[in-house]
Chain A
């Protein structure tokens, strides 16, 4: 009987609707989303279910109407998603940046470089180990644009270039254990344990900018989408008080905030 009582979804009751948010593993792993969502639930009475997947998977769930709202960081794919009519009301929420981390002895000699494309070219030229996410996430998309910027094809996964197929923290662990380079968002890099925190080698290139957008899934194709609640959540993310919270999050624990507020109604 205890079993049956626990099986009744906790979502019952309350005035609000149910909202399914598809987001990236990086925002979930950092703990930011839990903090924001519990505040939102309190304010709105909506019940939010957070599904953490890569940006690619999040958008494909959006295409099928399986989720209501997205918080993602893959600008090119986002624009295609909007153009195809799957999403509406895309708005900027926050940013952090990507950094290139790698082994302390740095066989490719990229330490201190401010040019991400040059750095990644040097890694390829040295044939030094590089672990790619390989999972169609926002980070993976960013890595592919860097190969393009360096004028190179994305390497095939053999020898020095490997694909982990896993989330950011898991990929950082693999890179640390195998003495490889990888591209990571700063928030995840700050939040992993010491054993997985490879030295930061390259930062500050504007191409490493990592912007998160909120997108409401269009109800044109799928009646089941809860656009009302999705719109409320979108508005909540852009509110000045929420933005302030984003800017403070992680400061106590990591000495610096994980994300920078960057709200804009437009893009």
Chain B
């Protein structure tokens, strides 16, 4: 119990003094997870819409694949991306290993299936009559997709939150492809694991508290957006 009390005090001290590059690490975490979620969204949203709306052979298998992908273990994603990005790997020449960009790639790989699966499920849950209605109004393909996405906006925000939640909490992939380099690729989760590995549980827990606070702020912001969207 003492450890928890000490950790709260330590978290407060870190925030007050900015020691251990805590603000740099928090800002970096925000930038990396934000970019990962955005990339995953740009990939996942069209794929999810396509999976739900198009009719093609093997469609169900692809939906099953997306659903299975929601359980992609971060360490597997990290290892796959590492193998590609290591100097000895096929993309080694890009020099991306141990950079924030490498973390973004691995995290997008983790979050994209979640966004695909939730988007597809949300769109498939819309009443079938809706599609006919929109078509009957004379909407072109673009307007059609926009209106469908608009109708599914509440579950789509859940997709964003789920994708963000997956990347902000993972540690295996960031550790492996980023190397938790101080001032470059150290994020809140990997910094906490590093502190644990040093046996510094108080500062590890303090980083954990800061991470929880960060997630809470993002979740609150998304919820406000969601509730506004509901009233429309």
Contacts and interface: CB of A to CB of B under 8 A. Distances in A.
A122 interface: no
A246 B50 CA distance: 60
A65 B93 CA distance: 12
Contacts of A193: 199-202
Nearest to A193: B199
A61 B92 CA distance: 13
Contacts of B104: 7
Contacts, number: 79
Interface in A194-220: 195-196
B87 A222 contact: yes
A42 B162 CA distance: 42
Interface residues of A, number: 32
Given A66-B87, A224-B92, A9 B200 contact: no
A264 B217 CA distance: 54
A50 B99 CA distance: 12
B197 to A, nearest CB: 5
Contact of A169 (B32, B181, B197): B197
B165 interface: no
Interface in B35-84: 35
A3 interface: yes
Given A34-B182, A49-B179, A65-B87, A191 B100 contact: no
Contacts of A25: 197
Interface string B176-211: 000101111000000000001111111000000000
Contact of B86 (A11, A49, A64): A64
Given A3-B35, A7-B32, A50-B181, A65 B101 contact: no
Interface of B: 27-28, 30-32, 34-35, 86-88, 92, 97-101, 104, 179, 181-184, 196-202
